Structure 1
Amino acid sequence: MTDLVRLAGQWRDQDPDPETRAELDAVLERDDLAALEDRFGAKLEFGTAGLRGALGAGPNRMNRVTVMRAAAGLARVLGPGRHVVIGYDGRHKSDVFAADTARVLTGAGLRASVMAAKWPTPVLAFAVRHLGADAGVMVTASHNPPQDNGYKVYWGDGAQIVPPIDEEISAAIDAVGRVDALPLGEGWRTLGHDDIVVPYLRALAALPIGDARDIAVAYTPLHGVGGTTVSEAFRAAGFEVPVMVSRQAMPDPDFPTVAFPNPEEPGAMDLALELAAATRADLVIANDPDADRCAAGVPLPGGGYRMLTGDEVGGLLAEHVLRHTSGDDRLVATSIVSSSLLARIAAEHGVRHAETLTGFKWIMKSGPGLVFGYEEALGYSVGSDAGLPVHDKDGVGAALVVAGMAAAAKRDGRSLLDLLDDQARRYGLHATAQLSVRVEDLSLIAQAMERLRTHPPMELAGRTVESAEDLSRGVAGLPPTEGLRYRLSGGARVVVRPSGTEPKLKCYLEVVVPVEGEDVAPARARAAQDLEALKKDLSVALGL
């Protein structure tokens, strides 16, 4: 208790934020050992996703001290004279954290450019390369709950950092002393709309959107920062501006209408689907709060709407991009937890295919000639013959291309569902699903992984486990990562891994069902049954 009180006192004395100082005062006054242990018994680790965690006082929270230390560590790795672009979303204290970063960087002799407003993460990623900067910082927690915030670092190539850069920054952060002793500067550049948003929208015009524009879109930014930029992008591309969910249109860090601000979460899309039905929209589109992810939904023939999975959208976008680009050196890439359909599409089109670890930082490093990359968690980077305008996932650019695809299908008297059926007939139905277990105690995830390693399943849903790969040992030339991959008879696959950003254990399931004749419905019904059986058996194996 004495050590914790001493650490808390030292932290409080250097903290420039009156809110977190008051929080510590209250904890100390009530002698709350558990609260002190939670805040000071561990620290947020700086990794390839930067920092992400709950707001609050102490090294195990996101706060101004944590952010200033991160900025000082980044400054030491980059060195004086380097240029860093800084962006921020609409979460609590995002603008404050961005300003603190600029003060620390300029105080260390670096140049800083700060976005003038709350703009999407892909705008920041674009800005790094557009301005020739050496690095970028985006203050965002993406689709995490309201109490969280985060700190994402990009390198000069406009992509998220990968090892060993993250390790160098982490070591430099650990060497930072008291933040109240850091020299702080002023005089950074403020990036206005014409400086960066206009060039970003101009770059998106090179995407393979097509020439069809007759499409009615219902859209939600889920209380995030995508609304204005998406409206501008659609208008600039010649589309009718989407009808927006009014209650979710403006940035709101409390996300009052959703339990989790993630389009994949149950209930998150309810208001958008209601709006689509009321306006008879041809397409539903959603971004997550920092607009780097894109979700899409379509009307059903019998009424109502269905949200497409990330793998379904990924397959459609991949084929669309390959039909609108040229060259034998093209590359498409996805992560090990995404559908194996992309490999089939690549082979059909005679282009290269790469499989990477989970995360867009790895997809962007998959090799030269990359024209399309995606991950099943609604992340897409769409390119053209001119290359990728954004070296990260881009929910705004993806929304434009999805709208263009849907408009072209509508012009032909078809829909995105028809295009999915075409792919199922051509490649077999690749159906995917996810089993996610959210926990309060992270040790439960470690226990579940250990259980699978010591008692590996021999059969799942009546399918023989033909191979089991421990991803922590590195497989197929990939760096080691915590996870297990099972290949089952009949082309099925299961990957189990802890989430890198949330207290979840995630299981990614895939079955491949051949399509007999023209009717895809029987294959879809069988795939749904097989996926449910996999979920059931895997839940038992996990013991959670």
Structure 2
Amino acid sequence: MATDPAELTRRAQAWLAEDPDPETRDELSRLIDAGDHTELAARFAGTLQFGTAGLRGELGAGPMRMNRAVVIRAAAGLAAYLKAKGDGAGLVVVGYDARHKSADFARDTAAVMVGAGLRAAVLPRPLPTPVLAFAIRHLGAVAGVEVTASHNPPRDNGYKVYLGDGSQIVPPADGEIAAEIAAVRSLTDVPRPEAGWETLGEDVLAAYLARTDAVLTPGSPRDTRIVYTPMHGVGRDTLLAAFARAGFPAPKVVAEQADPDPEFPTVAFPNPEEPGAMDLAFATARAAGPGSVDIVVANDPDADRCAVAVPAPGTDDGWRMLRGDEVGALLAAHLVSKRASGTFATTIVSSSLLSRIAAASSLPYEETLTGFKWLARVDGLRYAFEEALGYCVDPEGVRDKDGITAALLITELAAELKQSGRTLTDLLDDLAVEYGLHATDQLSVRVEDLSLIADAMRRLREAPPASLAGLSVRSAEDLSQGTDVLPPTDGLRYHLAGSAESGVEAGRVVVRPSGTEPKIKCYLEIVVQVASAAALPEARKQAAAALTAVKADLSAAAGI
């Protein structure tokens, strides 16, 4: 790490000499001229690390920020990796969202690929991430790159890498690509021709949209009325086209969030899960009048996630956001009712309810580490979800989470229930009675100092809790050691025993650092058996009380 002012200035000037972007050159020149060594230290304290999430970080000048110089190095490393694997003449497809610099990063990537002897094709305009994931397999590419920071703050951007199977990279590919990136000595060594790549036409999007039809049942009811927000992202046109093809009523789009806008002006954080992010969608639904809207649907800015809200009379908003675990269970139940076959899968931090749904239908079930990079690799996969609003409902088309096809499928389910006078909430109640109430929650702490996360993990490893919320910890696993079925990861998992006194049948806690944000995340689940629908209100109280107590005890044990 460079901390000496003279060394910082030297490194900054060397970076400045190679930076191809006038904007970041001006930015860095101002910092050098001002002698702002504090900011220079933040920019030159190391390099953004390339991993299984690719790259993601704040836009700006220097190796610790997302910028054209960093992206060119990443693209050169990926090209070298592909050539070393014998794919040096293959096609690389590049997609991008509407964030600041995304189009520039996509063009730089295509130029580097062509300069390295590969072929490159760029999607015709900012499009949802699942379109890129689809295009890789559809076009027979050897790899794909999506320039997106997904639901991160407006100041961020990112770089997500897929291989030829259409799924995101996992070890050892991430480490091997990172090594090739580190081997790039100078940007002058990276050829970047001005042309030579293809800009794809609308046919690739048309092929994706044709594939979306496959998730629906021919002849199913299509009369669900929805309010939709793309959250200032790129999902609107693709989702509207998919809904029109399917024959659903045109969604009512939240006007204030309809157009792509890299500033995300109406939300503090462009993630449907964040407090306040759905306020305008709920206001739009209320303005439509009582009974005029069946469900509210949202995509995150790159449209690979899907959020759903249901009417909640008597509440302040009149609507309730469903948890990702709830939507995951609803989609699973819907697919089971359609006699889906194949493996149902979720992650270790998502609700275990899916395991019971699969078992009841004698379907194979698997759990993986967090992220669709793992879920997409499950053999015989038919359906996968993760609690962070990610759903894969058509793995033959998109081996990744897809917020467009998930929106179609949940809307079809709502239409089928509506035909019989029922709602998504009614089906959730049915699942709770049949399989037990699986109540989930999170304790998520954002930090400025990453050492606080390491301290919390160390504290829990050195002094693991013997009980949480009065429920004894019947087993504790340090996931960094791996298990019989999971590769090592930085995480801890506790299984809680039941308690007749509290009415809890079982519980589970997983603690892990976030892979994409400066957060420590704790995923909580409490299972309460329910004798009948009439017992559900009391079961929910029991589960809520247990989750609150688990949060308090875990927070104390971790020092967060």
TM-score by length of 1: 0.97
Q: Secondary structure at the match of 1:320?
A: helix
Residues 209 and 264 (structure 1), Cα distance of their counterparts in 2 relative to 1, 3 Å cut: farther
In structure 1, the gaps of 5 or more residues are: none
Cα distance, 1:209 vs structure 2: 4.8
Aligned position for 1:38: 42
Structure 1 SS opposite 2:533: coil
Deviation at 1:477, TM superposition (A): 2.0
Q: How far off is 1:523 after superposition? A: 1.1
Distance 2:532 2:24 in 1: 64
Deviations 1:123-145 (A, max 9, x none): 00000000010000000000001
Residue 77 of structure 1 pairs with residue 81 of structure 2 = yes
What value does the CA root-mean-square deviation take over the aligned residues? 1.1
Q: Secondary structure at the match of 2:520?
A: strand
Cα deviation 1:205-228 (Å, max 9, x = unaligned): 011356111111000010000011
Unaligned runs of 5+ in 2: 499-505
Q: How does 1:272-351 map to 2 (within 5 A)?
A: 272-279=281-288, 280-302=292-314, 304-327=318-341, 330-351=342-363
5 Å matches for 1:345-360?
A: 345-360=357-372
What amino acid sits opposite 1:348 in the alignment?
A: A
Distance of aligned partners of 1:350 and 1:39 in 2 relative to their CA distance in 1, 3 Å threshold: same
- Aligned with 1:2 (options 6, 10, 15): 6
Tell me which amino acid in the other structure corresponds to 1:522: E
- SS state at 1:205 partner: helix
CA drift at 1:246? 0.6
1:247 CA drift (Å): 0.7
Q: Aligned partner of 2:337: which letter?
A: R
Partner of 2:18: 14
Percent of aligned pairs sharing the same letter:
60
Corresponding residue for 1:49? 53
1:212 aligns with 2:221: yes
Letter in 1 for 2:224: I
Asked if 1 retains the 8 angstrom alpha-carbon contact of 2:527 and 2:543, the reply is: yes
Residue 516 of structure 1: how far off its partner (Å):
2.0
Q: For the Cα contact (< 8 Å) 2:340–2:382, is it kept in 1?
A: no
Deviation at 1:517, TM superposition (A): 2.2
Q: Given that residues 226 and 294 in structure 2 are in contact (C-alpha distance below 8 angstroms), is that contact kept between their aligned partners in structure 1?
A: yes
Q: How does 1:429-440 map to 2 (within 5 A)?
A: 429-440=437-448
Matched residue, 1:379: 390
Match of 1:510 in 2: 525
Match runs of 1:58-457 below 5 Å:
58-79=62-83, 80-185=88-193, 186-193=195-202, 195-209=203-217, 211-279=220-288, 280-302=292-314, 304-327=318-341, 330-367=342-379, 369-383=380-394, 388-457=396-465
Decide which of 518, 529, 533 is 2:545's aligned counterpart.
Answer: 529
Indicate if the aligned counterparts of 1:344 and 1:427 stay in contact, CA closer than 8 A.
yes
Q: What residue in structure 2 maps to residue 543 of structure 1?
A: 559
Q: Which one is further off, 230-239 or 28-37? A: 28-37
1:500 aligns with 2:512: no
Q: Distance in 1 between matches of 2:517 and 2:461?
A: 22
Q: Which moved more, 1:67-76 or 1:471-480?
A: 471-480
Distance 1:476 1:377 in 2: 25
Number of corresponding residues: 537
1:442-479 per-residue CA deviation (whole Å, 9 max, x = no partner) reads 11111111111111111111111111110111023211
Distance 1:380 1:297 in 2: 16
Deviations 1:53-110 (Å, cap 9, x if unpaired)?
0001111110000000011011111123111000000110000000010111101111
Distance 1:48 1:204 in 2: 27
Contact residue 40 and residue 58 of structure 1 kept, 8 A: yes
- TM-score of the superposed pair, with normalisation by structure 2: 0.94
Distance 1:498 1:534 in 2: 18
Q: CA deviation at 1:323?
A: 2.2
* 1:3 Cα offset (Å): 2.0
2:32 corresponds in structure 1 to 28
- Conservation of the 8 A alpha-carbon contact between 1:381 and 1:388: no
* Residues 382 and 388 in structure 1, CA contact (< 8 A), matched pair in contact too: no
Query: Counterparts of 2:473 and 2:130 in 1: how far apart (Å)?
Result: 40
Give the Å deviation of 1:518. 2.5
List 4+ stretches of structure 1 deviating above 3 A: none
- Aligned partner of 1:434: which letter? Q
Letter in 1 for 2:237: T
| Aligned-pair CA distance for 1:168 | 1.1
Measure the CA separation in 1 of the matches of 2:340 and 2:157.
41
